[in-house]
Amino acid sequence: MEKEDFFCIGRSVPRIDALDKVLGRAAFAEDLSFPNMLYARVLRAGIPHAIIEEIDSTEAERMPGVVCVLTAKDIPGVNRYGIAFQDQYALAEDKVRYVGDPVALIAAETEAIAEEAVKAIRVRYTELPSITSPRDALAAGALRIHEKGNLLLHTKIRKGNIDQGFIQADVVVENTYRTQMVDHAYMETESGIGMMDKQGNIVIWSANQCPFRDRRQMAGVLRMRENKIRVIRATTGGAFGGKDDVTVEIHIGLLVQATRRTVRLVLDREESLLSQTKRHPIEIWTRWGATKGGKLCAIEGRVLGDKGAYAGLGAFAIKKCGIHLSGPYFIPHIKVDSYSVYTNNPFCSAMRGFGVTQAAIAHEAQMDELARRLRIDPLEFRLMNALDHGMTTATGQVFHDGVGIKATLEKIAEVLSNDPSLGKDRDKGSTRRKRGIGIGSMFYGIGYGFSRQDISSATIEVCEDGSVTLRSGEVDFGQGSDTILCQIVSEELGIRYDEIQMITADTFTTPNGGPTSASRVTYVTGNAVLKASRTLKRTLQAVAEDILKEKDLVFVDEEIHSEAYPHKRIGFKELCKECHQRGLQTVETAWFDNTTEDTDPGTGQGNAYSAYAYASQLAEVEVDVATGKVEVLRIVSATDAGKAINPANVEGQIEGGAAMGIGYALSEEIKLEKGYVRTKSLGEYMIPTSLDVPSIESHIVEVPVSKGPYGAKGVGEPALIPTAPAILNAIADAVGIRVIDLPANLENIYRLIEEKEKAPKRER
Amino acid sequence: MQHYQFDSTRSVEEALRYLSEKGERCRVIAGGTDLIPKLRLDDIHPEFILNILEIEELRGIREEENSITIGPTTTFTEVIESKILSHHFPCLIQAAVSVGGTQIRNRGTIGGNIANASPAADVLPAILALGGDIELRSKASGARTLPLAKAIEGPYRPLIRSDEILTRIIIRKLEGKTRTAFEKLGHRNAMARAQMNLSVVLRLDKEDKILEGRIVPGAILPVARRMKDAEKVLLGKPPEASFIEASVEALADEVSQESEVRLPEYKVPVLKNLARRLLKQCLLKRFE
Amino acid sequence: MQPRAVLRMKVNGKAVEVAVDPAWTLLRVLREELGLTGTKQGCGQGDCGVCTVMMNDRAVNACLVLALQADAKEIETVEGLGTPERLHPLQASFIKNGAVQCGFCTPGMLMSAVALLRKSPHPSSEEIKKGISGNLCRCTGYAKIIRAIQDISK
Which chain B residues are within 8 Å of C42, Cβ to Cβ?
none
Distance between CA atoms of residues A522 and A709, nearest Å? 8
How far is the alpha carbon of B17 from chain A, nearest alpha carbon, in Å?
A: 32
Please return the burial class of C122, using the count of CB atoms within 10 Å of its CB with bins 0-12, 13-18 and 19+: exposed
Q: Tens digits of per-residue pLDDT, A567-605?
A: 999 999 999 999 999 999 899 999 998 888 889 999 999
Q: Homologous superfamily of B177-287 in CATH?
A: CO dehydrogenase flavoprotein, C-terminal domain (3.30.390.50)
> Do β-strands A191-196 and A612-624 pair in parallel, antiparallel, or remain unpaired?
unpaired
- Taking an 8 Å cut-off on Cβ atoms, the answer to whether A656 and C40 are in contact is no
A269, A479, A657 member nearest C44 (Cβ): A269
CB C73 within 8 A of CB C48: no
Q: Which of A327-331, A454-458, A685-689 has the lowest mean pLDDT?
A: A454-458
A656, A659, A682 member nearest C43 (Cβ): A682
> What ipTM does the predicted assembly reach?
0.98
CATH of the domain at C48: 3.10.20.30
Chain C interface disruption, residue of B38, B103, B109, B189, most C CBs within 10 A? B103
Closest CA to C99 of C147, C153, C145, C133: C145
pLDDT at A422: 85
- Within this chain, do residues C33 and C96 fall inside the same structural domain, yes or no? no
Whether C120 and chain A come into contact, CB under 8 Å, resolves to no
Distance between CA atoms of residues A273 and A685, nearest Å? 9
CATH of the domain at C144: 1.10.150.120
Handedness of CA C33, C38, C39, C40 (dihedral sign): positive
pLDDT at A42: 98
How far is the alpha carbon of C117 from chain A, nearest alpha carbon, in Å?
A: 17
What 3-state class would DSSP assign to A239?
Answer: coil
Per-residue pLDDT, averaged over A741-760, amounts to 94
* Tally of domains in chain C: 2
Which chain A residues are within 8 Å of B276, Cβ to Cβ?
626
- Within this chain, do residues C101 and C119 fall inside the same structural domain, yes or no? yes
Whether C111 and chain A come into contact, CB under 8 Å, resolves to no
Q: Tell me how many degrees the CA angle C79-B2-B124 measures, rounded to the nearest 5.
A: 80
Distance between CA atoms of residues A700 and A639, nearest Å? 5
Report residue A145 CA to chain centroid gap: 27
Which chain B residues are within 8 Å of C116, Cβ to Cβ?
102
Whether A657 and chain C come into contact, CB under 8 Å, resolves to yes
Q: How far is CA A143 from CA A46, A135, A282, in A?
A: 20, 12, 21
What 3-state class would DSSP assign to B94?
Answer: helix
pLDDT at A4: 62
CB B8 within 8 A of CB B30: no
Chain B interface disruption, residue of A106, A624, A629, A681, most B CBs within 10 A? A629
Non-local (6+) Cβ contacts of A199 within 8 A are: none
Specify the CATH architecture of the domain B5-51.
2-Layer Sandwich (3.30)
Q: Which of A11-25, A437-451, B99-113 has the lowest mean pLDDT?
A: A437-451
Distance between CA atoms of residues B266 and B280, nearest Å? 21
pLDDT at A724: 98
> Do β-strands A191-196 and A263-266 pair in parallel, antiparallel, or remain unpaired?
antiparallel
Series of mean pLDDT values for 10-residue runs along chain B (288 residues):
95 97 96 97 96 97 97 98 97 97 98 97 98 97 97 96 97 94 97 97 93 96 96 95 96 88 87 96 73
Q: How far is CA A525 from CA A238, A609, A643, A709, in A?
A: 19, 16, 15, 9
Which chain C residues are within 8 Å of B101, Cβ to Cβ?
49, 133-135
A19, A184, A187 member nearest C104 (Cβ): A187
How would residue A446 be classed by pLDDT, with cut points 50, 70 and 90?
Answer: confident
B195, B264, B288 member nearest A431 (Cβ): B288
How would residue A539 be classed by pLDDT, with cut points 50, 70 and 90?
Answer: very high
Distance between CA atoms of residues A254 and A231, nearest Å? 14
What 3-state class would DSSP assign to A124?
Answer: strand
pLDDT of A2 higher than 50: no
- Within this chain, do residues C75 and C19 fall inside the same structural domain, yes or no? yes
Q: What's the 3-state SS for A7-33?
A: CCCCCCCCCCCHHHHHHCCCCEHHHCC
- The domain containing residue C17 runs over which residues? 5-80
What 3-state class would DSSP assign to A252?
Answer: helix
- Within this chain, do residues C100 and C75 fall inside the same structural domain, yes or no? no
The mean predicted confidence, pLDDT, of chain A is 94
What 3-state class would DSSP assign to C10?
Answer: strand
Closest CA to A261 of A463, A418, A66, A11: A66
- In terms of residues, how long is chain A? 764
Domain extent listing, chain B: 5-51, 57-172, 177-287
CB A150 within 8 A of CB A138: yes
Q: How far is CA A37 from CA A32, A64, A112, A205, in A?
A: 10, 16, 14, 14
Which chain C residues are within 8 Å of A20, Cβ to Cβ?
103
Chains that touch B (3 or more CB pairs under 8 A): A, C
- Taking an 8 Å cut-off on Cβ atoms, the answer to whether C91 and A23 are in contact is yes
Chains that touch A (3 or more CB pairs under 8 A): B, C
How far is the alpha carbon of C101 from chain B, nearest alpha carbon, in Å?
A: 22
Closest CA to A365 of A334, A338, A397, A325: A325
- Taking an 8 Å cut-off on Cβ atoms, the answer to whether A689 and B189 are in contact is yes
> Which neighbouring-strand residues pair with B138?
B142, B164
Specify the CATH architecture of the domain B57-172.
2-Layer Sandwich (3.30)
Chain C interface disruption, residue of A690, A693, A700, A717, most C CBs within 10 A? A690
pLDDT of A239 higher than 90: yes
Q: Tens digits of per-residue pLDDT, A376-393?
A: 999 999 999 999 999 999
Q: Which of C80, C114, C138 is the last residue of a domain?
A: C80
- Within this chain, do residues C10 and C76 fall inside the same structural domain, yes or no? yes
Order of all β-strands in the sheet with A612-624: A433-445, A612-624, A629-640, A695-701
Which chain A residues are within 8 Å of B1, Cβ to Cβ?
112-113, 115-116
Closest CA to A283 of A310, A309, A301, A308: A301
Q: What's the 3-state SS for A149-175?
A: CCEEEEEEEEECCHHHHHHHCCEEEEE
Distance between CA atoms of residues A613 and A520, nearest Å? 11
Which residues, numbered 627 to 656 in chain A, qualify as contacts with chain C under a Cβ-Cβ cut-off of 8 Å? 648-649, 651-652, 654-656
Q: How far is CA A273 from CA A243, A672, C138, in A?
A: 13, 11, 15
pLDDT at A762: 56
Whether C89 and chain B come into contact, CB under 8 Å, resolves to no
pLDDT of A679 higher than 50: yes
